[in-house]
Amino acid sequence: MNTLALILIAALSAAWGVHTVWMSRRLRTARRDPLTGLWTRDAFTRQARRLLRNRHAVVVLADVDRFKQVNDTHGHAAGDALLAITATRLTHAVGRSGVVGRLGGDEFAAVLVDRDGTAADQLAVLGRILARPIETAPEVHTSVSLGWVRRADHPNEDLSALLQRADEAMYAAKRTPATVRRAALGRLLASVTGRRPGRRSTA
């Protein structure tokens, strides 16, 4: 094989390597929400299902309270900053062994592994942390309602059903002074496939 052929092969190999890296980066970017850096719904779903193989898993649903009011009063820049700091605080609380995703709008979901049985205390602390003002917009005062459910309490249910339970608990938290509520045992109040109007399901 002559020198020119070797050069061409080397050039093609290098070009293919660059293309592969570029495609990998594009794929990772597509799986991340551009505002918060969290996993998008599909990417979150894949990782959450994997974590749910662990019986100690806990599913959490979080929703920013009065988010429309924040946007209307302080502007969309303040609303975006609130979403970004909420994502950062959730990610820090869940840790490297869990996963956090933005399901859309001001709704977030997370799955964490609660090996020591302290999820209730951890989430109570998280609720207070999420209610703190953000440095870039200290005039913005709101809270984040959290609903959660233990995987072990419903071992035969899939991610969609567990999110529904967490969703119902979260709405119960919004109706009471508490910002954190654990899902009740028993049947779902709504069907798994038919969440409340305006809420999106995750299969």
Q: For residues 191 and 156, give the distance between their C-alpha atoms in angstroms, rounded to a whole number.
A: 16
Distance CA 199, CA 197 (A): 6
Residue 114 appears among annotated catalytic residues: no
Tokens, residue 12: 């093609």
| Strand partners of residue 180 | 146
| DSSP class per residue in 119-148 | HHHHHHHHHHHHTSPBTTBTT----EEEEE
Q: Among residues 63, 106, 114, 167, which one is catalytic?
A: 106
By annotation, the residues acting in catalysis are: 106
